[in-house]
Amino acid sequence: MHAAETVVITGASSGIGRATARLFAQDGARLVLAGRDADTLEAVAAECRDRGAAVLAVPTDVGSEDDVDRLADAAVQHFGSIDVWVGNASLYSFGTFEQTPSEVFDRIIEVNLLGQVYGARAALRVFRRQGRGVLVSVASVYSRITSPLVSPYVTSKFGLLGFLEVLRMETRNAPDIHVCAVLPATIDTPIHQHAANYTGRPVRPLPPVVDPVRVARAIVRVSRRPRRLVQVGRVQSMFVYARALAPAAYEPAVAVAYRALALKKGSLPPAPGNLFEADRKATGVTGGWRILPWLRRTPGR
């Protein structure tokens, strides 16, 4: 990647987004970082400046199309172009569909799916003017498989992958505009600490848990050598083939395994996590799940 390229990253405050910002910064990219909390975002920006990058931090809720439009405008006004747009912001919840409040379900769709739609619309306007650009959307292995207790997340990620496939078809007339999907498996980020939880139980991510830097590296790679789809996390990616080849066996097996592995003993009151308000406490790259993951307890909510 050329050092003068401009990269927009949504969801840059923690996890995969923060790891990705650091890697692009090391390459000397000009960064436009988006997240809901201005103070946390500025801390990430300072890390990137220390690595030699020019950085613009733009507080943004990707669930608002006006916010996303302002983000794109700010990037162009400040740096003159957008070469790579990384759509990464995402929310998560645990609970059956019937346990999950409608406003929680809707908020996850708003951020995970519509936020990507708004980002693509803003980025493509700039890419069409420039005649080039790379859209990298962080989807999920849940774009291709299912499990209980995460219905809004699965719905959003299935929808996102279909949306990206349509975009690739519609941009075939522009050979220098690329649409890429990165599908992580379970990643060691704070998203599980941030998640809404309506199960009544402490929860944990499904093993094996993957280093978020692996996903960040995949994002940087596809921005340089675009590919339609990249999966990160070999073990859980195997479930894609299991579901395709034997769906009748996959569904009951995964339903039993997920409840056994994801739910811990104990009780917790229902809570919306960071869905409606940014969490300033868990903003690192990792969530610490690879350190004694079976003993760690999700903070009470």
**What pLDDT score does 67 carry?**
98
* CATH code for residues 6-262: 3.40.50.720
Q: Name all contacts of 242-251 with Cβ < 8 Å and 24+ positions apart.
A: 243/144, 243/145, 243/146, 251/146
Tokens of 22: 């650091």
Determine whether 198 is an active site residue. no
Q: Write the CB contacts of 116 (distance below 8 Å, at least 6 apart in sequence).
A: 62, 87, 137, 160, 163
Is the Cβ–Cβ distance between 250 and 144 less than 8 Å? Answer: no
Cis peptide before 208 (omega within 30 of 0): yes
Spell out, as residue ranges, where the chain has pLDDT lower than 70: 1-3, 291-301
Burial 228-257 (b: 16+ CB within 10 A, else e): ebbbbbeebbebbeebeeeeeebeeebeee
Question: pLDDT tens digits, residue range 180-193?
Answer: 999 999 999 999 99
Burial 142-151 (b: 16+ CB within 10 A, else e): bbbbbbbbbb
Write down the number of H helices and E strands in the chain: 10, 9
C-alpha 70/C-alpha 118 separation (Å) is 11
C-alpha 281/C-alpha 206 separation (Å) is 23
C-alpha 156/C-alpha 247 separation (Å) is 21
Q: Write the CB contacts of 58 (distance below 8 Å, at least 6 apart in sequence).
A: 32, 33, 34, 41, 70, 71, 74, 75
Say how many CA atoms lie within 13 Å of 230 toward its Cβ. 20
**What pLDDT score does 291 carry?**
61
Q: Which of 153, 198, 241, 258 is labelled catalytic? A: 153
Question: pLDDT tens digits, residue range 36-47?
Answer: 999 999 999 999
Tokens of 290: 């690879």
CB atoms within 10 A of CB 175: 9
Q: What does each C-alpha distance from 205 to 9, 53, 88, 100 come to in angstroms?
A: 24, 33, 19, 18
